[in-house]
Structure 1
Amino acid sequence: MSKGYHSLGDEIVSGSVPVAASSDRVLQFQESNLQTFPPSDTRGKLSGSFQPPRDADDSFSNPGSGSQGGANGSSTGSGWQSYFNAVSYRPYFNVDTADVVERIRDSLFPFKGDFVEKTSHNPDMYGPFWICSTLVFVTAALGNFAAFLSAQSGSWHYDVNKVSWAAFMFYGYVAVIPLGLYFVLKYLGVVSGLVQLWCLYGYSLFVFIPASFLCVVPWDIMRWAVVGVAAVMSAGFLAINIRSHVKTASERWFLIVTSSAALQLGLALVVKLYFFTYFYHDSLVHV
């Protein structure tokens, strides 16, 4: 068998591999057209500014496809369902301490008239909520304490009903009056935001907090003076800002402004008569 192999010549045998020619030429491979990574297309580009898709982060906190969020993974819902989701109200509480302090300071200087412009980009309900909550407890507690100081006999008793009436009055006023004004302005064609009106009315009541502390003094003349000054400041702050907002948009701006100021003065009158007026009962005869 080996002898047969030695007898083979240089002829090409069918099915055999030819001997590589001894040449100095180097084989050159053509450049591949395969796609390189990362791809040049911006849809798949890997860079420092890459952001994951919206439905890829916080996957455990987002609802599934069968929940309220729907197939897109949104947790806020759509349509009327968003009114029952707390996440929908998050932008209205997006303020810090500096923002709230600045807005309270602006409410104490009512003649600037730029409160609506400052809060137009970010009206909040955080400040109005806590201002009303503080007023509920302050007016109820200090009203009873003022009645105690004014009592000339031992017939004084704590009126717990002032807490419920204060909550009904302040929460109801800030919620209902701006809502009514919103529909009036909408009927007149004036562009306004409901949350912006709630913000304006809520901060307008802050001046009654320090006024409530001053009304503890058992001098009725001083109480009338304190409540009167607070009423003028609050009504002026409200009227000037509403005037700057609706004067150029409606011919009935004077009626709107005066009505808003009159309601604010009426609220101050109720605060004085209900919380800081003590009626003496010495003349009553108990049988």
Structure 2
Amino acid sequence: MMSGNYTTIDNQNVSGSVPAVSDSPGQVSVKFNDTSLQTFPPSGAQGKISAAAGPPRDADDTFSKPASGSPESPSSGGWFKIFTVAAYRPYFDVDTSDVLERIKDSLLPFNGSFNEKTANNPDLYGPFWICTTLIFVAASIGTFVTYLAHKLQHKEWNYDINLVTWSAGVFYGYVLVVPLCLYVILKYFSAPSTLVQLFCLYGYSLFVFIPAMCLSVIPVEIFRWAITGVAGIMSALFVALNLRNHIVSAGERWFLIVVGIFLLQLALSFVLKLYLFNVSV
């Protein structure tokens, strides 16, 4: 049926084609083949919208790769990489179960297998938060105990902000300076050890002082000395026994190095007892 220049198509069972009107001049026949039809979205198309959820990706992953010279580029090397976040990202790639397992090993110093377990994945996450927790625990408990001691004797009490700065200097400084010096000594004796492993070992060795500080709230001087001694011996044994196997290759002087490490850790506990575990009015 024709009306002016428009053509009406009757309802027919048409499959993939539109019937052409051959009797009308100037009309073009259009035909759609079934084979040229595609489903949307196309399956298996690379670089286009796929059926799976997620943002579209480039066909050649050109824009998905880090640019050359960027901090995430694997080709960027040299000393400048130590100033990028990507250089330290592998040392924070641990989960809660890993940190808890390493904390448990630090409380069992006689195993001496901490370095072997963390050789392939030493972390700085645990040492950082252990030192940070020690700083706030030392400041808060020291302040609380001092406050109670002054109030019980009806004396005036003033908050000492130096307790926080002093604690930060002791714990952060010890975990940074001592492993660095030990790394230089082990390099001199050609003993196999990495700097990150030493940071990890010394950081976890300080965890035992957290419960020791909490128990120092008890106002009994002998008990505080006993708690400090036990914590210091456990921490010193943990470090010395884990480094012994690596220092044996240093030759005949390995015993002196291990003894020095043990005594240095004990000295730390003695300093903590005098300045953090000691409460006087």
TM above 0.5: yes
Higher alpha-carbon Rg = 1
Distance 2:167 2:66 in 1: 40
Change (3 A) 1:245 1:56: farther
Change (3 A) 1:61 1:216: farther
8 Å CA contact 2:232, 2:265 repeated in 1: yes
Q: Secondary structure at the match of 1:248?
A: helix
Q: Give 1:150 shift.
A: 3.0
**CA offsets 1:191-227 (integer angstroms, 9 cap, x no match):** 2100000000000000000111000111111111111
Contact 2:191 2:249 in 1 (8 A): no
Query: What does residue 102 of structure 2 align with?
Result: 103
- For residue 218 of structure 2, what is the aligned residue in structure 1? 217
Cα 1:118–1:60, aligned 2, differ >3 Å: closer, same or farther? closer
Distance 1:165 1:62, change over 3 A: same
Supply the distance in 1 between the matched residues of 2:73 and 2:223 (Cα, whole angstroms). 57
Please report how far the alpha carbon of residue 75 of structure 1 lies from its aligned counterpart in structure 2 after TM superposition: 6.0
Distance in 1 of aligned mates of 2:80 and 2:259: 38
Instruction: Tell whether the 8 Å contact from 1:239 to 1:260 is kept in structure 2 after alignment.
Output: yes
| Aligned 1:20-35 pairs, distance under 5 A | none
After superposing on structure 2, the runs of 4+ consecutive aligned residues of structure 1 that deviate more than 6 Å are none
Structure 1 unaligned segments of length 5 or more: list them.
1-54, 281-287
- Cα distance change, pair 253–60 in 1 and its aligned pair in 2 (3 A): same
Is structure 2 residue 83 aligned with structure 1 residue 62?
A: no
Percent sequence identity is 55
Corresponding residue number in structure 2 for 1:123: 122
CA distance in 2, matches of 1:165, 1:238: 24
Partner of 1:82: 81
Q: Which amino acid aligns with 2:134?
A: L
**Partners of 1:254 and 1:169 in 2: how far apart?**
27
* TM-score (ref. length: structure 2): 0.74
Aligned partners of 1:76 and 1:213: how far apart in 2? 48
The two structures, once aligned, show a CA RMSD in angstroms of 2.0
Residue 192 of structure 2 contacts residue 246 of structure 2 at CA under 8 Å; is this kept in 1? Answer: no
Whole-angstrom CA distance in 1 between matches of 2:62 and 2:219: 59
Report Cα offsets for 1:255-279 as digits up to 9, x if no partner: 1111111111111111111112123
8 A contact 1:149–1:218 mirrored in 2: no
**Which residue of structure 2 lines up, in the alignment, with residue 164 of structure 1?**
165
Aligned partners of 2:93, 2:272: CA distance in 1, in Å? 31
Give me the TM-score of the superposition, normalised by structure 1.
Answer: 0.73
Separation (CA, whole Å) in 2 of partners of 1:69 and 1:96 = 27
DSSP-derived class of the 1:109 partner: coil
Maintained 8 Å contact 1:150/1:218: no
Q: Structure 1 residues 240-249 or 127-136, which shifts more?
A: 240-249
Unpaired runs of 5+ residues, structure 2, are 1-58
**How far did 1:85 drift?**
1.0
The change in CA–CA distance for 1:219 and 1:88 in structure 2 (over 3 A counts) is same
Q: For residue 237 of structure 2, what is the amino acid of its counterpart?
A: G
Aligned residues: 221
Which residue number in structure 2 is paired with residue 206 of structure 1? 207
Residues 63-113 of structure 1 deviation map (CA, whole Å, 9 limit, x = unaligned): 3x5xx339xx82672101111111111111111111100000000010011
Looking at structure 2, the residues matched to 257 and 153 of structure 1 have their Cα atoms a distance apart, in angstroms, of 49
Q: Distance in 1 between matches of 2:75 and 2:165?
A: 34
